[in-house]
């Protein structure tokens, strides 16, 4: 079975588009303040916020890559 080739131009476009969307969503959503109120300043709050940002980034990156190809 042949390994599918990755379109590098589409891959780079999807990376930058995903990054810009993640930044925009994280600035406008207000989820950070809700988590801060619920969990606090501790390590648990930071780990939840970071994991949410990473999951969001990779899901949007995949969606943008699929759109560009």
Q: Helix or strand or coil: residue 69?
A: coil
Most distant CA pair in the chain: distance in Å? Answer: 51
Angle made by CA atoms 22, 13, 47, in degrees to the nearest 5: 25
The predicted model scores a pTM of 0.52
pLDDT in tens, the chain (69 residues): 677 788 888 888 888 877 877 777 776 677 767 777 777 777 887 787 788 778 877 877 777 776 666
Distance CA 26, CA 12 (A): 21
């Amino acid at each position: 079975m042949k390994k599918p080739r990755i379109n590098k131009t589409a891959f780079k476009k999807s990376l930058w588009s995903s990054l810009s969307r993640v930044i925009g969503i994280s600035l406008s959503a207000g989820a950070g303040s809700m988590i801060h109120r619920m969990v606090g300043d501790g390590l648990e709050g930071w780990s939840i916020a970071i994991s949410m940002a990473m999951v969001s980034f990779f899901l949007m990156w995949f969606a943008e890559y699929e759109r560009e190809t």
